Amino acid sequence: MSSTIQSVFRQFSRNGKLSQQNLSRFIRRCSTVNSEENSFKTMIKRLESKGLPIVHHHGYVCDLPVNHQFPMKKFHGVMHHLKVDNVISMRQVLEPERINIKNAQTVHTVEYTEKFFTGHTSREEQKVTGFDWSEGLVSRVRYETGGTLLAARAALERGMACSTGGGTHHAFPSHGSGYCLLNDLAITAAVLLKEGAVQKVLIVDLDVHQGDGTAYIFRNDERVFTFSMHCEKNFPTRKQKSDLDVPLEDRMQDREYLDHLQTHLPKILNDFHPDLVLYDAGVDPHVDDELGRLSLTDKGLFDRDYYVIDTVVSKGCPIATVIGGGYSRDLKILSARHTIVHRAATKPWKVSFKGWT
Ligand SMILES: [Zn+2]
């Protein structure tokens, strides 16, 4: 929410909520405010939506060459499984706007963003990202990054929110890497810090690969704590230094993995006191993941996600989740696996945010 609209919201709301009568007044007043990224329309939808906010856009997906290794269609698959299994209703779904270049430049260089947005990155630069440049790719990346930012904004307003995409943690300020073009987690943290919406952000990155881009971006920024638990011998070979790295051995199983998490997360929360947690719930630590090298089960991933969300929410801290990495040729199984975090979020939501059902 822009600061102007925030002040209008405060004028018409009581305890963070709008009555039906005040909602109409608020909408009329807001329509005179020129807000950034067309966020007015999105914000009204946010206020009208019910239940745990789920952020999704059809534009998270773009066309790729046949047999491309990246499972692009999984983003649609995630929404499909959430709907057919009745995990969510459409009333919960919020659609993001595409991130604008100004916000992308909160962490990326002007040169890189201008090249990426307009298709002037070199062949070599494209090669390390794993994608050939296309207009569709830029659009998809901008929607996905806008989705993480919207999930964070919704979490700040309502306590929790989950995107059906996001977690592009290998992107660095001046280049993309490992299927990541813009660093959605870093941009989200940087934009909210710049706006003054938060003072401190904790990024919990449990994707099986180290969040190297995020760690590098915030290496000298005390307002952001980067916590990465990852498989030591996995990509990237050259690791960066997070505020806390927990490298794990190959083939680690549920119990030992959860022990590590339970050792570190409560201490970080107690010492750092974040205003917001961004959680990368990558499913590539799964035993069947094609790039993972760890041995977590479906239940292990559920217990992990539930533990993170419940622990953060119990501290009264808002949390926004992204799906992170996950690799399988079986799109159906992979998409369903990515919905574990949304399923795990449902129970703490019901317990902690009854007023928003
Ligand atoms: Zn990964």
Please report the domains of the chain, with CATH numbers, ordered by start residue. 51-356 (3.40.800.20)
**CA–CA distance, 289 with 248 (Å, rounded to integer):** 16
Ligand 1 center to 167 CA (angstroms): 9
> Mean pLDDT across the chain, nearest whole number?
92
Amino acid at 143: Y
Between CA 253 and CA 292 the distance in angstroms is 12
**Residue 200 CB burial class (10 angstroms; 0-12, 13-18, ≥19):** middle
Q: What is the pLDDT of residue 249?
A: 97
3-state DSSP of the chain: CCHHHHHHHHHHCECCECCHHHHHHHHHHHCCCCCHHHHHHHHHHHHHCCCCCEECCHHHCCCCCCCCCCCCCHHHHHHHHHHHCCCCCHHHEECCCCCCHHHHCCCCCHHHHHHHHHCCCCHHHHHHHCCCCCHHHHHHHHHHHHHHHHHHHHHHHHCEEEECCCCCCCCECCECECCECCCHHHHHHHHHHHHCCCCCEEEEECCCCCCHHHHHHCCCCCCEEEEEEEECCCCCCCCCCCCEEEEECCCCCHHHHHHHHHHHHHHHHHHHCCCEEEEECCCCCECCCCCCCCCECHHHHHHHHHHHHHHHHHCCCCEEEECCCCCCCCHHHHHHHHCHHHHHHHHHHHHHCHHHC
Q: What distance in angstroms lies between residue 183's CA and the mean position of ligand 1's atoms?
A: 13
The confidence score (pLDDT) of residue 45 equals: 66
Over 70: is that where the pLDDT of 29 sits?
no
pLDDT tens digit sequence for 94-139: 999 999 999 999 999 999 999 999 999 999 999 999 999 999 999 9
Residue 68 Cα to ligand 1 middle (Å): 17
Q: Give 65-75 pLDDT, tens digit per residue.
A: 988 999 999 99
pLDDT band at residue 37 under the 50/70/90 scheme: very low
Nearest CA to 245 among 169, 306, 188? 169
92: pLDDT confidence band, cut at 50, 70 and 90? very high
Q: How many angstroms separate the alpha carbon of residue 239 from the centre of ligand 1? A: 13
pLDDT of residue 19: 72
Ligand 1 midpoint to CA 104 (Å): 22
Output the CA 247–ligand 1 centroid distance in Å. Answer: 14
More confident residue, 329 or 30: 329
Q: Ligand 1 mean position to 284 CA, how many Å? A: 6
- C-alpha 209 to ligand 1 mean position (Å): 4
pLDDT, residue 226, reads 98
Q: Confidence class of residue 28 from pLDDT cuts 50, 70 and 90?
A: low
Give residue 9's pLDDT: 75
Distance of CA 211 from the midpoint of ligand 1 (Å): 8
Kindly give the distance from the C-alpha atom of residue 60 to the centroid of ligand 1, in angstroms, as a whole number: 18
Average pLDDT over residues 159-173: 98
Joined together, the tokens standing for residue 336 give 């369903």
pTM of the model: 0.88
pLDDT of 13 > 60? The answer is yes
Residues 6+ apart with CB under 8 A from 61: 72, 73, 75, 76, 140
pLDDT of residue 38 exceeding 60, the answer is no
pLDDT > 90 fraction of the chain, expressed in percent and rounded: 82
For residues 286 and 183, give the distance between their C-alpha atoms in angstroms, rounded to a whole number.
23
Among 264, 267, 217, 259, CA closest to 245: 264
Encode pLDDT of 295-352 as tens digits. Answer: 999 999 999 999 999 999 999 999 999 999 999 999 999 999 999 999 999 999 988 8
Report pLDDT for 231: 97
Encoded amino acid at 292, one letter: G
Average pLDDT over residues 34-53: 66
Q: Give the torsion sign (CA, 284, 136, 38, 189).
A: positive
Confidence of residue 41 (pLDDT cuts 50, 70, 90): low
pLDDT-based confidence at residue 203 (cuts at 50, 70, 90): very high
